A = this chain, B = another copy of it.
Amino acid sequence: MSHPLFTPELKIMLGEGNAAGLREFCESLHPATVAEALDDPDLSPEQVWEAISPAPIRTQASVFEYLPPARQVEMAEKARPQVGQLIGKMSHDDRADLLRRLPGRAVEALMRLVDEADRKDIAALGQYGEGTVGALMTTDYAWLPGTLTAAEAVDQLRQQAPDKETIYYIYVLDEAARRPDGSLAPRRLLGVVSLRDLILAPRHTLIRDLMEGEVIALRADEDREAVARVFSRYDLLAVPVVDDRGGLLGIVTHDDVLDVVQAEATEDLQRQAGVGPIEGNYLDAGFGTVWKSRAKWLGVLFVLQMVTINVMAYYERKLEGDPGKAAEDRLAFLIVFIPLCLSVGGNAGSQASTLVTRALALEQIRVSDWVRVFRRELLMAASLAATLGVLSVGRTYFLTPNSVLADLRPGQFWHLIWAVTLAVMGICVTGATVGAMLPLGVRAIGRDPALMSAPLIATLSDVLGIAIYFNIAAFFFL
């Protein structure tokens, strides 16, 4: 998505080969804005390099980090030497992300351009799969031994700061220990101290007396959802990631959390709509990937929905009786109300399943609350059904098509009104309670409740709805 003002300006400067102007452009604006201006389909990867290369290497790296992942990959493939230079200056989590997306050969070629420390760091971060806490982690955290005073600590930070992702939380680590095989194990996390506390503390206070020893930490192999949960519960700027021994592996900083929350919300929204989640941008996502994630669910729903054919055929036969039945005994007029009645179940069910699924995701309810949820949804469904019932009586009384009225025998008009209305109400209650209970059931067996997508609930409620409708109709008309 290009920038409406800056992209044209940039193109003019590129056309003129105005290096001074480009440098000024990259340095004066926020790197996110520069990246936005550069993210234009008209600009080739070479032109993007031409635009940022006049700027200092750190600025280049910042702008590059803000480009969309697909663009980064394209640039890394088309201009390896430049990317090789930038990689040493990129933040450690962003470069690990980039390399995770590149094909194996490209990674190998790039790694040859990088110095050894960076190579080790990239390999360490690269081992964590996408969707884990480890994949969000950066290794450039600020740390100190606990034996320094506050004043010494601030001096030390002055040295460390330019390279660190954040210096607002400083991690206090113990001596390095050796593993049985002689290699160095990660230093153990003893506590955390904020820069605010360091600044406020008397100069000679020891760090270990200042630090908070009860540190909230995550494991590298946890699901990234844990990051969102911890940040939103404790209002943190960063959270440390530790191994089994309590050794510090890295930290996850606040800027990655928003992305996680947005990505998780997108995933939930897509699941809820019956789309296997699609990574990344809607228009950039591969056609085949999108097709697969949609066709899978459409196919499953289609096959399940096929049951409605048999259910309909069964009840239709029952209502129609034998084929020789006289025309005036036919009950075909009942058919016209089916789409209306079925839609009520789908709508009420999708409301209930969405509310319950989201409440589970936000930890507002637990599976053990199912009795409360059931009671509430039943009551809610009953009052919603009452509302629809009133609408249904009104509709059927005033607006039933003449062709339907012509098929009714004398005295059957109110039968029709009650049959439709009771069916609407019954289907509404069934849809809402099924919609509310299924996500809880799926969570209870340890699966993602968002699997009970709205279309799936609608399909199940269609099958039940046809049975409810025809049984009520049979009661009034047979």
**Is the beta-carbon distance between A32 and B234 smaller than 8 angstroms?**
yes
**Is the beta-carbon distance between B387 and A340 smaller than 8 angstroms?**
no
27 contacts between A and B (CB under 8 A): A1-B363, A1-B364, A30-B214, A30-B216, A232-B262, A257-B258, A265-B268, A268-B269, A269-B269, A270-B355, A273-B454, A275-B351, A275-B354, A282-B359, A282-B364, A283-B359, A287-B376, A294-B348, A295-B384, A298-B344, A298-B351, A302-B392, A305-B339, A306-B399, A309-B399, A312-B339, A313-B336
What is the minimal beta-carbon distance from A430 to any residue of chain B, in angstroms?
A: 14
CB neighbours of A404 from chain B (8 A): 313
In this complex, what residue of B is CB-closest to A310?
Answer: B401
Interface assignment of A157: CB less than 8 Å from any CB of chain B:
yes
* Stretch in A51-59, A129-137, A160-168, A178-186 with 4+ CB within 8 Å of B: A160-168
Which residues between 350 and 390 of chain A lie within 8 Å of chain B, taking CB atoms?
Answer: 350-351, 353-356, 358-359, 362-366, 369, 372-373, 376, 379-380, 383-384, 387-388
**Contact residue among B290, B308, B355, B401 (Cβ-Cβ distance under 8 Å from A282):** B355
CB neighbours of A363 from chain B (8 A): 1
- The docked-state distance in angstroms from the alpha carbon of A11 to that of B214 is 23
Instruction: Using A261-B262, A308-B339, A316-B336 as known contacts, list a sample of 11 further A-B pairs with CB atoms less than 8 Å apart, ordered by residue number in A.
Output: A1-B363, A32-B234, A32-B235, A287-B379, A287-B380, A294-B380, A298-B348, A302-B344, A308-B336, A316-B335, A454-B455
**Is the beta-carbon distance between A299 and B387 smaller than 8 angstroms?**
yes
Interface assignment of A395: CB less than 8 Å from any CB of chain B:
yes
What is the minimal beta-carbon distance from A162 to any residue of chain B, in angstroms?
A: 7
In this complex, what residue of B is CB-closest to A261?
Answer: B261
**Is the beta-carbon distance between A269 and B305 smaller than 8 angstroms?**
no
Interface assignment of A158: CB less than 8 Å from any CB of chain B:
yes
CB neighbours of A344 from chain B (8 A): 298, 302, 305
CB neighbours of A383 from chain B (8 A): 291, 295
Interface assignment of A407: CB less than 8 Å from any CB of chain B:
yes
Interface assignment of A338: CB less than 8 Å from any CB of chain B:
yes
- Interfacial residues, chain A to chain B (CB-CB below 8 A): 1, 28-30, 32, 36, 154, 157-158, 161-162, 167-168, 195-196, 199-200, 214, 216, 228, 231-235, 237, 254-255, 257-259, 261-262, 265-266, 268-270, 272-275, 278, 281-283, 287, 290-291, 294-295, 297-299, 301-303, 305-306, 308-310, 312-314, 316-317, 320, 323-325, 327-328, 332-333, 335-340, 342-344, 346-348, 350-351, 353-356, 358-359, 362-366, 369, 372-373, 376, 379-380, 383-384, 387-388, 391-392, 395, 399-401, 403-404, 406-407, 424, 428, 454-455, 458-459, 462, 466
CB neighbours of A161 from chain B (8 A): 196, 199-200
**Residue among A291, A340, A406 with most chain B CB within 10 A:** A340
**Is the beta-carbon distance between A266 and B299 smaller than 8 angstroms?**
no
What is the minimal beta-carbon distance from A74 to any residue of chain B, in angstroms?
A: 17
CB neighbours of A32 from chain B (8 A): 233-235
